Amino acid sequence: MRRLVGVACFVIAVALGSLCAPVHADEWTHLLKLIREIQSRSESPPLERALDPSASLPWGAIKDRFDRICGKVPAAPDLADEQLRALIADCDFLSKVLEQSENPQAKVFLKRIKMCRDFFVYSLELREAPAG
């Protein structure tokens, strides 16, 4: 008897639940799409930090990453604090990769990534500095 009552309550609860929140199949896919879009819009790709800096990257890949990081410099004053910190971390990572690289151009890119990093740090500190 008690088991019957329990099952009946469960069925009523599910029915009520589906009535109040009618999440159909296509709405689930819509929600999932939205979540993926938000993830892809995130400015700092987490992929960089997952790699081991001592792993030798082809020069083209290094250059692509460099372009993506330093290309943000002009927009830095408008980026959020977390985004700037993520960029600084990316600069540190790429610096280590460049130090390992044997490409003759690496020494100039090392200097350039340092300039980008310094500017991101400067942008962050400017917000914390007293107005003047």
Binding site for another protein (CB under 8 A): 66-67, 70-78, 104-105, 107-108, 111-112, 115-116, 118-119, 121-122, 125-126, 129-130, 132
CB of 64 to another protein, least distance (A): 10
CB of 50 to another protein, least distance (A): 23
* Whole-Å CA distances, 130 to 77, 78, 81, 94, 124: 16, 18, 17, 32, 12
CB of 105 to another protein, least distance (A): 6
Apex CA 59: angle with CA 110 and CA 80, to 5°? 55
Distance CA(68)–CA(45), nearest Å, equals 10
Tokens representing 108 are 């100039």
27 or 67: CB nearest another protein: 67
22 or 130: CB nearest another protein: 130
What's 80's DSSP letter? -
66 or 93: CB nearest another protein: 66
32 or 126: CB nearest another protein: 126
CB of 126 to another protein, least distance (A): 6
Q: How many CB atoms lie within 10 A of CB 37?
A: 9
